[in-house]
């Protein structure tokens, strides 16, 4: 064999692949309500409720999952909750949004949160990171839940 004397590649050998925003959007953000690319972040830090970021310190690439709430711009006071997953590779930022009205059912909230978390988990792999899920406790909002439920 020709390479019997050569060593296997070192585990720290840099690898490169060619990705496009279209490929990543198709894989990561297929279930998102909206997706876009940009040179800067679309997240308004004043609206952020939760922010989780992982960064590659060597090159500035990052992946971020943000929850934010905002009012409809049309002035009708409709409140929206947005789970945004933002991936920066090089100078390009690719963002997927899962958005629902804040009055939507808990089942829809769970679906959107799970979709965003799954996209964030997959995107973290591009930075060589692994997502570890945690457990959170949510206090009940009985007044709003009782108002939505019908009694028989």
Q: What pLDDT is stored for residue 133 in this prediction?
A: 78
> CA 18, CA 47: separation in Å to the nearest integer?
34
Per-residue pLDDT tens over the stretch 77-93: 889 999 999 999 999 99
Q: What pLDDT is stored for residue 125 in this prediction?
A: 92
Checking if the pLDDT of 20 tops 80, the result is yes
Residue ranges of the domains in the chain? 48-78+102-130
Checking if the pLDDT of 3 tops 90, the result is no
Checking if the pLDDT of 146 tops 60, the result is no
φ and ψ of 102, to 5 deg: -65, -15
* pLDDT band, very low/low/confident/very high, at 1 (cuts 50, 70, 90): very low
- Higher pLDDT: 131 or 54? It is 54
Question: Do 87 and 119 touch, CB atoms closer than 8 A?
Answer: no
> CA 137, CA 116: separation in Å to the nearest integer?
19
């Amino acid at each position: 064999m020709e390479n019997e004397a050569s060593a296997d590649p070192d585990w720290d050998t840099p690898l490169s692949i060619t990705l496009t925003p279209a490929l990543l959007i198709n894989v990561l953000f297929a279930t998102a309500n909206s997706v876009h690319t940009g040179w800067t972040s679309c997240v308004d830090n004043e609206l952020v409720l939760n922010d989780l970021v992982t960064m590659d310190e060597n090159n500035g690439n990052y992946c971020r999952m943000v929850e934010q709430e905002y009012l409809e711009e049309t002035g009708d006071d409709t409140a929206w909750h947005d789970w945004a997953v933002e991936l920066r590779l090089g100078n390009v930022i690719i963002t997927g949004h899962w958005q629902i009205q804040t009055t939507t059912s808990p089942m829809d909230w769970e679906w959107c949160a799970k979709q965003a978390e799954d996209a964030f988990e997959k995107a973290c792999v591009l930075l060589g990171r692994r997502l570890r899920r945690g457990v959170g406790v949510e206090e009940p909002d009985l007044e709003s839940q009782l108002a939505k439920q019908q009694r028989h």
